[in-house]
Structure 1
Amino acid sequence: MKIATSAVPTTGPRPKLNTRAAMLVALAVFAQESVWNFYDAQVPASIAEYTTSAALIGLLMGVDNILGIVLQPLMGHISDRTRSRWGRRVPYLVIGAPVAALFFLLIPFAGSFGALIVCMFLFAIVANSFKPLTDALTPDFQAPGRRSLANGIAKIATSLTIIVSALISLFIVDESLELAFAIPAVLLVCAMLIVGFTIRETRSPGYQRALADGTTGQADPWSFRRVVSELFRDRDRSRLFLLLGIFATAGTWAAMRAQLTPYAMEVLDVSRGVAGSLALPGGVAFLVAAIPIALFSDRAGRRRMIRIGLTIMIIGCLIAFAIPTLVTTIAGVMVASVGYAAFSVNAVVLMWNLAPSRTVTGAYSGLYAVAAAIGASLGPAIVGGLVDLTAWSFMFLHSSLLGVVGLALFFLVRREISDGQLAEDAEVDAAAPATAASSEGEQP
């Protein structure tokens, strides 16, 4: 079997970024993640009004991840098979956003523990159903050589939601909890409606390709069962190692972020407020690094950039571990954040490019989300367990070890683009001269 090692197909002129589509996708991602960030920040406090059990709070807050494991790849696959005058992703975004916003709005009005759980559960079901579809719009509109840049723009939008959520919590929550929940909900609905009515998904290359495949008269060969089984049938296991690498890296980052505040309080002997602010410089470093990394990745290759990024992230952890002072901890977190940016910008793009066909990128967006969600759920527990066995001073060392596992797994990812997608591109290239000749012959 021929292994594709180049970042993207290099024949022909370098593709241009569809800037309009990239900005609209970033708007959708910003609105969607604003709701999820505020949910993660404030719903635990709502649950705490009815129980003092930290374990129960953690369990209920993990329900959305559990639902996402099933719903996100399934809905991504369903959207891959959808054909409508609005496209295949947009209908779910336009319908799902107002419904999710309604259940989100009801959370602060829940008058009992049971009502709160029902609102949370219904919100998690609906919001998880369209969560991977905004990401899937990027490969629909962008050529493989521009996807890292487009995804970098979306990741900046995601990072900004942390700031928005913090500002709403700081200035609105104590004055009116109901208004605080309403702001992200309104942002979600307005942004999705703007995207739905302006992005023109039916004109995207991804939709046109899917539409063309549907006119051949043949049944869709990509059932959900086949999409999943293809992960294990892949001869060099690149897709499977990619998913495992995503799990380990997302777990490393989540562990470092989740354990940073108690680490700083225990080891650096700072106040809770100071400890909670240590992630901010890392967030700034991520924002500054995202676009340059995306621009370079489109040329240098995504596997290479992820491996370099994970090495930098591990070095950042080791800096913070080796010299446990406030200044070096901040410096280590900033270095690790730059490294994580290389992973965050490129991992889902690599996932799209390794999909066996361009017609199943929605399902692969869901698979990426599942691997990242499981890693983010288990990573803090793994590192926390190791801390329990040793001491808080070893937290960054344990995080770096999990990062080393992720790095090793990414060295086992041998391809940048799947053979199936290369074959599809070859068919398009072969058909192009015939189409052009036919057009010329029809001219008077």
Structure 2
Amino acid sequence: MRKTWLLGLGFLSISMTWALYNAFVPLFLANYLKSAAMIGFMMTIDNYFAMFLQPWIGHRSDKTRSKYGRRMPYLLIGMPLGAVFATLIPLHTGFVALVLFMVLMNLSMSIFRSPTVALMPDITPENSRTQANGIINFMGGLGSILAFGLGAPLYKQAPYLPFLCAGLVMLFSLVILKSFIKEPIALTGYGDGSSNPFQTERETRSPIRIKDQFDRTTLFILGAIFFWFVAYQGVEALFTLYGTKYIGMSDNDAAFSLTFFSLAFLAFALPSGWLGAKYGKKRIIALGVLGLFVIFGSIVFVKSVLLLRVLLVVGGLFWACININSYPWIVATGREESIGTRTGIYYFVSSLAAISSPPVLGWIIDMFGYPALFASASLGMLLAALCLIGARNDNRSAGTGAIDQAPPAIQ
């Protein structure tokens, strides 16, 4: 697990950068745009890259063969570029420069995000991947907390300081990953000594094609992922409006209330990974989905701030059961050689939910009032639970190419 904690540094730097981006870039945009809807649209650029670029990058990394491995070439290119453009964002001199730096940063982050995530199952035996995913999500959550805790005072001193620090952390984490993370030689070696970092392997046991990944179990899992992310993303995006307009909270109290959900998720990230390994990923995910179905449905009838926060704490625990185990499950239903491809598909579906959920749930609120937010989120979890019924358990039979052995020893 030592390598998993080191890999977690990469996720810490990614989460720190995105947390700062989401917190402060809207303030930069507000200097040029008066429409909140337009600002919100500009902030979804990353989701569009995730939908259309990350599946291709993940698929491409599966076929990459180099002396650096399958995933590392993308990190070596994307992470330095991401650090540079993130640092340049607060140094913009006008709206065009700001948008240019935003687009280039999002493009750079998309180059290495799927390969970085795919590194976890590459270097981790299948029966340990839920614990490993708990570790890297814990590190990612820690990065967000550091961004909020240290970013605000640094921003007051100078707007560029938090972004500069995030860029330096990203470069430091790249050095650590390059120095200590070695991919399995059976998956990265090609035997001909070629130094082309993007040479693709032509002699595999069968080609990895995106369309071949959509078997019955995968489709049901992706359906569940879409519906629970619709519920989660809608609540996350619209909760402060719900708290202020319906509960009567102040802006700060409403925003602070979401912290209870996030901290509970962070605290339960490691235990939920252990539970998934011990009792099965599908079973723990189902527990989380049904738990959030009840929690979101109960919040509809709650107007007490104290009780609301208690329910959010419990909801964060259930969300950890879902989010920590879902990615290892989608990877476990495919071949070892298709990890990057399936990682990209996972990001495509979750990003599609992130793009569609806020406007759809916002429209529902306009039609039926603010209580409809959590009623809709509860319905989303119910639909996710129905999708889970159609999905098989953690692995398919050996004859279908499922992962039933640990990957080769890490060199």
Q: Which residue of 2 aligns with 1:281?
A: 260
Unaligned runs of 5+ in 1: 1-18, 430-444
TM superposition shift of 1:50: 0.7
Distance 1:329 1:406, change over 3 A: same
Cα distance in 2 for residues equivalent to 1:76 and 1:386: 35
TM superposition shift of 1:428: 9.7
Distance 1:394 1:423, change over 3 A: closer
Q: 1:73 aligns with which of 51, 55, 72?
A: 55
What are the equivalent positions in structure 2 for 1:6-17 lying under 5 Å apart?
none
- In our comparison, the structure showing a higher alpha carbon Rg is 1
TM superposition shift of 1:213: 11
8 Å contact from structure 1 (residues 34, 162) kept in 2: yes
Q: Which residue of 1 aligns with 2:332?
A: 353
Q: Check if 1:265 corresponds to 2:244.
A: yes
What are the equivalent positions in structure 2 for 1:400-419 lying under 5 Å apart?
400-419=378-397
TM superposition shift of 1:84: 1.8
Output the TM-score relative to the length of structure 2.
0.92
TM superposition shift of 1:349: 0.3
Q: Check if 1:392 corresponds to 2:370.
A: yes
Cα distance in 1 for residues equivalent to 2:342 and 2:253: 39
TM superposition shift of 1:218: 6.1
8 Å contact from structure 2 (residues 121, 339) kept in 1: yes
Cα distance in 1 for residues equivalent to 2:373 and 2:405: 51
8 Å contact from structure 1 (residues 319, 329) kept in 2: no
Q: 1:219 aligns with which of 203, 215, 220?
A: 203
* Worse-superposed segment, 412-421 or 379-388: 412-421
8 Å contact from structure 2 (residues 228, 384) kept in 1: yes
Q: Deviations over 1:100-135 (max 9, x none)?
A: 111111111111111111111111111111111111
Cα distance in 1 for residues equivalent to 2:192 and 2:58: 18
Q: Which residue of 1 aligns with 2:46?
A: 64
TM superposition shift of 1:220: 3.7
8 Å contact from structure 1 (residues 318, 332) kept in 2: no
Distance 1:298 1:424, change over 3 A: closer
Q: 1:371 aligns with which of 349, 356, 376?
A: 349
Local SS of the residue matching 1:200: coil
Q: Deviations over 1:129-161 (max 9, x none)?
A: 111111111111111110000000011112112
Distance 1:222 1:59, change over 3 A: farther
Give 2:391's aligned amino acid. V
Q: Check if 1:342 corresponds to 2:340.
A: no
Cα distance in 1 for residues equivalent to 2:47 and 2:319: 21
Q: Which residue of 1 aligns with 2:290?
A: 311
TM superposition shift of 1:328: 1.6
Cα distance in 2 for residues equivalent to 1:210 and 1:198: 16
TM superposition shift of 1:222: 5.5
Distance 1:422 1:295, change over 3 A: farther
Q: 2:25 aligns with which of 43, 46, 65?
A: 43
What are the equivalent positions in structure 2 for 1:94-243 lying under 5 Å apart?
94-201=76-183, 204=184, 207-209=185-187, 211=189, 219-220=203-204, 223=207, 226-227=209-210, 229-232=211-214, 234=215, 237-243=216-222
Q: Which residue of 2 aligns with 1:438?
A: none
Distance 1:373 1:155, change over 3 A: same
8 Å contact from structure 1 (residues 91, 196) kept in 2: no
- CA RMSD in angstroms comes to 2.3
Q: Which residue of 2 aligns with 1:329?
A: 308
* Worse-superposed segment, 274-283 or 407-416: 407-416
Give 1:275's aligned amino acid. A
Poorly superposed stretches of 4+, deviation over 6 Å: 212-215, 424-429
8 Å contact from structure 1 (residues 315, 336) kept in 2: no
Q: Which residue of 1 aligns with 2:196?
A: none
Local SS of the residue matching 2:357: helix
* Worse-superposed segment, 46-55 or 167-176: 167-176
Q: 1:297 aligns with which of 267, 270, 276?
A: 276
TM superposition shift of 1:319: 2.4
8 Å contact from structure 1 (residues 47, 57) kept in 2: yes
TM superposition shift of 1:197: 1.4
**What is the number of residues matched between the two proteins?**
400
Give 1:158's aligned amino acid. G
Distance 1:104 1:426, change over 3 A: closer
Give 1:124's aligned amino acid. N
Q: Which residue of 2 aligns with 1:435?
A: none
Cα distance in 2 for residues equivalent to 1:285 and 1:394: 24
Q: Which residue of 2 aligns with 1:15?
A: none
Q: Which residue of 1 aligns with 2:34?
A: 52
8 Å contact from structure 1 (residues 319, 328) kept in 2: no
Distance 1:223 1:64, change over 3 A: farther
Distance 1:427 1:113, change over 3 A: closer
